[in-house]
Amino acid sequence: MTASRAESSRGPTSLMEEARLTGEFADWHNLNYMVMWLTGDLDIAALRDAWWRICRRHDVLRRTYVSADEACTYDDALSDVELLTAETDAEAIELMRRFLGTPFSLDGPGFSRIAVVQRGDRRYLFGLAMDHIINDVVSWKHICADFIDFYDRALSGDAGGIRNENRYQSFASEQRRLFAGTWGKERRDFWRSYVEEFETYPPLFAVGAEHTGEYERRVITRELPSDARSRVQNFSRQSRVTPFAVVTSGVLTAMREVTGDPLAGISVNQHGRMLPRTARTAGLFVQSVPLHLGRQSMGPSETIQDVFLRTHDVFEYALPLLVAGRSWDESLMVPDKEPGLHVRLNEYPPSSEYLPPFTGTEAEYVELQFPGQKRWLETVVVMWNLFETGPQLVAHYNQNYFPDRAVEQLLEAAERFALQAGC
């Protein structure tokens, strides 16, 4: 199948796209990818048909950029399944690494790559990569679910029509329209008041941090009690807040305890699809949002109530703050500055975000490393992995910047808050 590029339409970029196109995250490799060994009967023709249907359903996969303000959406797919061959597993891995690992060009023709390296009649290495400018974790799950569905349809000979999903181009147009009106003014007023109270970015994790050498990644893992997830859920129900508010309150309170800073602050990822009819839309919606504790020290229940309300507000009014600030001639976020702490909550194991095996195959997932992947030099990334089995509290950080003991104390205090305060 040859991808055509007959131009369909032009329209504005979203504010998230503009942020990337005008320089945010331009210093690292914005790659979302998945690689897996497949053993069994893989139908390459069905795979190609399924990928073409996905690209037809989700217009963001047919999107390129004329400028930071204007995108172009083509009628047909801009990528096709590449079929390669290899004599050994090591050769197959290296072929896939080279194929997927080349950074996408922001002025290039499309932002997805997909390939199969055949090792035998029943053994294949499958790889899929998308640039972050067209994808986030929610979009990835939509695309993976559609892939399996369309593959099964192709196997059964179903040549029916493709149900139209909401278009990302429509979202971008509506977001731009609203941004220029009352909706945008409400967000401007909120963020102006927010930075007046808390300044333009969360404070650093002030624990005597200093650069003592090149970046050296360090991971600390605390095994949590087997009932950690139910404890957090019980605490959230008792306080009528979300589990995210509970675990985030734990990290914020721990940061205040370890540093003595009354204005503890962090950043969080927000995958908000705030506009109507965007729940199934694939594209870039994620952004980092600053979150702070109030100035007054409070007990555990009052703290998580405060964090819950602030979480609701910053998510409700979330925008890419550098882009919005430039549009309003305001400083809402310090450019090119890392947060001291970044917090994530994962309630399902990473495999839940993978593409399941195609019908008739078994899968073994492969982790690859690519040059230019993001390094957080001055940020501690704290992840609450509240899985049903093996719950963990994990910190990733630069060991040649942060003292190990300070990070360990942070995790200890965060666990104590979230798992014991509600008991």
DSSP track, 370-405? -TT----TT-EEEEEE--SSS-EEEEEEETTTS-HH
Whole-angstrom CA distances from 208 to 201, 400, 404 are 19, 12, 11
Q: 7-171 has which fold?
A: Chloramphenicol Acetyltransferase (3.30.559)
Could you say which DSSP state residue 21 is in? Answer: H
Same topology, domains 7-171 and 183-340+378-420? Answer is: yes
Assign 114 to helix, strand or coil: strand
Residue 34 makes CB contacts below 8 A (sequence gap 6+) with 127, 128, 129, 354, 355, 365
Domain spans of the chain, in order of start: 7-171, 183-340+378-420
Instruction: Give CA–CA dist 253/8, Å, rounded.
Output: 51
* pLDDT at res. 43: 96
- For the chain, residues with pLDDT lower than 50 are 1-3
Q: Which CATH superfamily is domain 183-340+378-420 in?
A: Nonribosomal peptide synthetase, condensation domain (3.30.559.30)
Q: Tell me, what's the pLDDT at 415? A: 96
pTM above 0.75, yes or no: yes
Contacts 24+ apart (CB under 8 A), 218-222: 218/396, 218/397, 218/398, 218/399, 218/404, 219/394, 219/395, 219/396, 220/394, 220/395, 220/397, 220/404, 220/407, 220/408, 220/411, 221/392, 221/393, 221/394, 222/392, 222/393, 222/394, 222/411, 222/412, 222/415
Kindly report, residue by residue over 217-254, the tens digit of the pLDDT.
999 999 999 999 999 999 999 989 999 999 999 999 99
pLDDT score for 85: 96
* pLDDT tens-digit map of 64-83: 999 999 999 999 999 999 99
pLDDT in tens, 106-161: 888 899 999 999 998 999 999 999 999 999 888 999 999 999 999 999 999 987 77
Q: Which residues contact 235 (CB under 8 A, 6 or more apart)?
A: 246, 304, 418, 421, 422
CA quadruple 351, 357, 362, 367: dihedral, nearest 10: -40
Q: Is the dihedral of CA 115, 117, 121, 123 positive or negative?
A: negative
pLDDT at 350: 67
| pLDDT for the residue numbered 1 | 42
